[in-house]
Chain A
Amino acid sequence: MIGLISYLAFFATMAGILAIVVLGLNLQWGYTGLFNGGVVAFFGAGAYGTMILGGRPEPGQFGGFEWPFLFALAGGVLLAGAIAWIVGILTLRLRHDYLAIATFGVAVAFESIARNAEWLTGGAKGLRGFPRPLEAAIGNTFVYGLCFLAMVMAVLAAVYWALQRLVQSPYGRALRAIREDEVAARSLGKNPTRLRLQSFVIGSMIMGVAGGLYVAFYAFVSPQDLAPILTFQVWAMLIVGGAGNNRGAVLGAFLIWGAWTGSGFALSKFAPAAMQLYTGPIQYILIGTVIVVMLLWRPQGLLPERITQRFTKTASKVGTTSKGAF
């Protein structure tokens, strides 16, 4: 019984952390129309940043400053935000796909650094030994697991609440206005580049928060945790849940994480031994298929954005396609 509960708590903690990432992506993609091809880099910046500032010192290793958890987390979040700011300022005034390419590049570059800069990141073996917040005070592993889950859920709820406030405010409407029709938004006195940059940085910092929680949960981080598949998983969560809807984003995170762990379990249990090496690729194909099929079949996701703006959407689409025409 306790085993089952602790497994469920483990599952829910991970799903909750991923849901925070999905909420960050939803602000960028769902509400502002920004493509982030390197989710894993911003998550990773939060994770490594928190680890380096809050971890225990290791011989020959930079970092391990043993900052209190909240300060270390704040540092990780700021690192994620700083990277987003640099990428954003270079690309957000250009054609939308430059951001996609640059963020994808950030993820590749981040992984190279994580794998190679051993003095900083521990290289392929990663960094271990993170003093988990309040672990000593609570003691019992089982109780601590539940407490950690409660903390993740509290952060998730706080991020959700803050984002709901944000997107329902005039600021949120301005973001959506830019997504729908940049020219019109500009004529209303909005500065699209600045708003986009803000949204991109805030979204990336939310991903950084999730990264910091992840490090605190596992007390360990390595390049393995930053596999590009994470970006795909997070996208699948958002597209399944419904871009532009925060409830959908959270729902998608739990659904896809459940499907992912479930399919992994099923494959390891029932697939023939010869296929065991290929369970990863099969799961990757499933994630890719979920993304493509959702885009083809139900691009609005399970819980679509509630403000129906069909008319303006079509109108702005026609506007963009006919721009080149005469």
Chain B
Amino acid sequence: MTALLTIAALEAGYVRDLPILRQVNLSVMRASLTVIIGPNGAGKSTLIKAIAGLVPVSAGTVTLDGADITGIRPDQMGALGLAYVPQTDNIFRHLTIRENLALVLRRVPDRTTRLDELYALFPPLAAKQADRAGSLSGGQRQMLAVAMALSGRPRVMLMDEPSAGLSPKIAAEVLDLTRSLTAQGVTVLLVEQNVKQALRVADHCYILAEGRNQLDGPAAAILSDPMVAEIYLGGKRVGAA
């Protein structure tokens, strides 16, 4: 396996001279699921947004399949084979489900067949296609958000806490769905607070704190690491996660 997405010495933040990310390094293997965990304020979401071009990058590089994509415009992501699922507000509530999908499919050449494929993948969306997306349940919204991200057949999916705010059962389903994407050749970079569940489905894990790399390794190893278990899985944190 080779790294499809590489991040080298990345510095990024909303305010100049005050980087939230300091010298972050990361590489994501082709068709793998990599999860980033860490305490609140560690810069996990900022990292994903910086890759997507939503947070200004002040230093370092983002490389996708050998090409430098540092500081792209967010609307160019699709053309590069990147897709991003935000944590909240990740669907257009005032548009119908069909309109949400038609919007993201408008640059896809075989949009009609692709729409059918997506409906086949997520039957509940097909059943409610004429409804406003705002009327969907939490799990169905995540489903629509993932379907929108998948519409352009991305090589890499960036996902920001897809299980946040969902019941444990639905959260597990969403994470399983995320896992299943790698089987189709999609590379996934995931940010999660739901550490235990995320490590269960991930291949590789990075731990971030205060904007810096702390630790990384195979998800299984991290899951069984006593120190990680102490900090992230033990005590009160499990309850919080």
Whether the complex brings A and B within 8 Å at their CB atoms is answered: yes
**Which residues does A use to contact B, with CB under 8 Å?**
311, 314-315, 318, 322, 325-326
Decide if B162 is an interface residue (CB 8 Å cutoff).
Answer: no
Interface contact B87-A315, CB-CB below 8 Å: no
Q: A238 to chain B: closest CB distance in Å?
A: 28
A314 / chain B contacts, CB cutoff of 8 Å: 15-16
For this complex, into which size category does the number of interface residues on chain B fall? 10 to 19
Interface contact B15-A318, CB-CB below 8 Å: yes
Interface contact B16-A326, CB-CB below 8 Å: no
In the docked arrangement, what's the CA distance between A326 and B89, Å? 5
- Chain A-chain B contacts (Cβ-Cβ < 8 Å), number: 15
**Which residues does B use to contact A, with CB under 8 Å?**
14-16, 54, 86-90, 160
Interface contact B14-A326, CB-CB below 8 Å: no
Task: Return the contact of A322 from the options B14, B16, B86, B160 (Cβ within 8 A).
Answer: B14
Q: Please, which residue of chain B has its CB at the minimum distance from the CB of A322?
A: B14
Interface contact A326-B15, CB-CB below 8 Å: no
Q: A316 to chain B: closest CB distance in Å?
A: 10
> Which secondary structure characterizes the binding site on chain B?
loop
Q: B47 to chain A: closest CB distance in Å?
A: 14
Q: B45 to chain A: closest CB distance in Å?
A: 8
B88 / chain A contacts, CB cutoff of 8 Å: 326
B160 / chain A contacts, CB cutoff of 8 Å: 326
Interchain Cβ contacts under 8 Å between A and B, 15 examples: A311-B15, A314-B15, A314-B16, A315-B14, A315-B15, A318-B14, A318-B15, A322-B14, A325-B54, A326-B86, A326-B87, A326-B88, A326-B89, A326-B90, A326-B160
A325 / chain B contacts, CB cutoff of 8 Å: 54
In the docked arrangement, what's the CA distance between A315 and B54, Å? 16
In the docked arrangement, what's the CA distance between A326 and B54, Å? 11
B87 / chain A contacts, CB cutoff of 8 Å: 326
In the docked arrangement, what's the CA distance between A274 and B193, Å? 75
